[in-house]
Amino acid sequence: MIIDGRPFIMSGGASRLGLRTTQEHTSRSSTGMKRFFKADVTDAEQLEKAVDAVVAWTKETVMAVNVIGTYSQCSLVASRLS
């Protein structure tokens, strides 16, 4: 899969498989568009704040984004981006 220059929103990027996926993506991406938004995804308030920050950042920097996460997390991001 070609990932260079493509933005992703990945949940679980702070530990285990999510961390490894995030590390792999950032090591292969040559663009300067790398941001990390930390939130406990089991805390609705933290998750909403992180999603709002991500949405604001993506609206300023990119036209499309790939979302990796649970259905509810992806739905939340998609509803905020539309």
Q: How far is CA 70 from the centre of its chain?
A: 12
- The answer, yes or no, to whether residue 14 has pLDDT greater than 70, is no
Contact of 4 with 28, CB cutoff 8 Å: yes
pLDDT digits over 40-57, tens only?
878 889 888 988 888 888
> How much is the pTM?
0.57
Does 81 score more than 60 pLDDT? yes
- Domain residues of the chain, as ranges? 8-81
How many Cα atoms are found within 13 Å in the side-chain-facing hemisphere of 67?
18
Length of the chain: 82
